[in-house]
């Protein structure tokens, strides 16, 4: 069931989104060669809690950290570790959620660690732009498939692939709600977008095949061919006047 949010609930989600976005910005500013992903996780957790919120991911389904940090060929759900030391040239996907007074904000970004290759930068640029192509389609009266297809067409035109096994989702009092928001699909299909809906659009884009595999820790998800992957995400609300991004730091 798709849950439409009241103006009060949207206000709380906007605050949750602001906290999530500021936490993500802090994480990005912490990324440099020699830093461990555990150190970044600690920065994020301390900030979220200082704002009177809770990290959405901590303990979610048993996840052991406050943030997912996925490096290079890790697509999503990388577990922060003191043994994972970032190095020059890495690309680092950070996925952050914050729960404020019962409502969640969810966002992700892929950051360069120092100077990165032209190929890696091109992947980041394409993935980020595909997110905004998807957001452009999030108009009241449109359908989920319009978002999905816009992302897929943009990505595949650049010879990348969109991950099929994981998708975007509704967000609200639960971190994951209906509807699912795939990054591939047919325009004009799927649930109709209505004012009051809040969704996370999150393209996960691979250099090579879209196939992925989950490691034995049951979280860390990597590309099947070992090539790079990037991940960008915003939580948005559907309004009569167009999509509104809730995960902005200001």
What's the 3-state SS for 84-151? CECCCCCEEEEEEEEEECCEEEEEEEEEECCCCCHHHHHHHHHHHHHHHHHHHCCCCCCEHHHHHHHH
Is residue 247 one of the residues assigned to a domain?
A: no
Please give the share of the chain, as a percent, with pLDDT higher than 70: 100
Q: What is the pLDDT of residue 202?
A: 98
Residue at 87 is within a domain: yes
107, 233 in Cβ contact below 8 A?
Answer: yes
The predicted pLDDT at position 60 comes to 98
Give a yes or no: residue 206 inside a domain. yes
pLDDT score of 125 = 98
> Rounded to whole angstroms, what are the CA distances from 225 to 24, 75, 205, 228?
28, 12, 13, 9
Question: Distance of alpha carbon 181 from its chain centroid, rounded?
Answer: 12
Distance CA(229)–CA(160), nearest Å, equals 10
pLDDT of residue 45: 98
Please tell me the pTM assigned to this model: 0.98
Structural domains of the chain, count: 1
Residues spanned by the domain of 133:
7-237
The pLDDT score that the predictor gives to residue 72 is: 98
Which parts of the chain register pLDDT below 70?
A: none
Q: How far apart are CA 149 and CA 146, in angstroms?
A: 5
pLDDT of residue 16: 98
Please report whether residue 245 resides in a domain.
no
Q: What is the pLDDT of residue 235?
A: 98
pLDDT at res. 40: 98
Q: What is the pLDDT of residue 103?
A: 98
Per 3-state DSSP, the chain is made up of helix, strand and coil in percentages (nearest 5) of 30, 25, 45
Whether 243 is in a domain gets the answer: no
Residue 1, domain member (yes or no): no
- Quick check: 137 and 188 in contact, CB under 8 A? no
Asked if residue 248 belongs to a domain, the reply is no
**CATH code where residue 114 lies:** 3.90.230.10
Please check whether residue 217 lies inside any domain of the structure.
yes
Question: Token pair 């994972």 is at which residue?
Answer: 84
Q: Are 179 and 170 in contact (CB under 8 A)?
A: yes
Question: Can you give the pLDDT at residue 33?
Answer: 98
Model pLDDT, residue 95: 98
């Amino acid at each position: 069931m798709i849950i439409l949010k009241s103006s009060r609930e949207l206000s709380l989600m906007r605050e949750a989104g602001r906290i999530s976005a500021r936490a993500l910005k802090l994480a990005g500013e912490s990324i440099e060669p020699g830093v461990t992903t555990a150190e970044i996780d600690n920065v994020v957790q301390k900030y979220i809690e200082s704002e009177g919120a809770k990290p959405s991911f901590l303990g979610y389904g048993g996840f052991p950290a406050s943030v997912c940090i996925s490096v290079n060929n890790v697509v999503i759900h990388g577990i922060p570790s003191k043994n994972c030391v970032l190095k020059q040239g890495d690309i680092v996907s950070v996925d952050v959620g914050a729960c404020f007074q019962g409502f969640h904000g969810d966002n992700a970004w892929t950051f360069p660690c120092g100077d990165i290759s032209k190929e890696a930068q091109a992947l980041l640029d394409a993935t980020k732009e595909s997110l905004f192509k998807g957001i452009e389609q999030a108009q009241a009266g449109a359908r989920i498939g319009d978002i999905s297809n816009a992302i897929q067409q943009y990505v595949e035109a650049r010879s990348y692939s969109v991950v099929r096994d994981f998708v975007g989702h509704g967000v609200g009092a639960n971190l994951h709600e209906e509807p699912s928001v795939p990054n591939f699909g047919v325009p004009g299909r799927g649930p109709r977008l209505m004012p009051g809906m809040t969704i996370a659009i999150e393209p996960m884009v691979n250099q090579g095949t879209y196939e992925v595999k989950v490691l034995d820790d049951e979280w860390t998800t990597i590309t099947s061919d070992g090539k790079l992957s990037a991940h960008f995400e915003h939580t948005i609300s559907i309004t009569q006047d167009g999509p509104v991004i809730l995960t902005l730091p200001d």
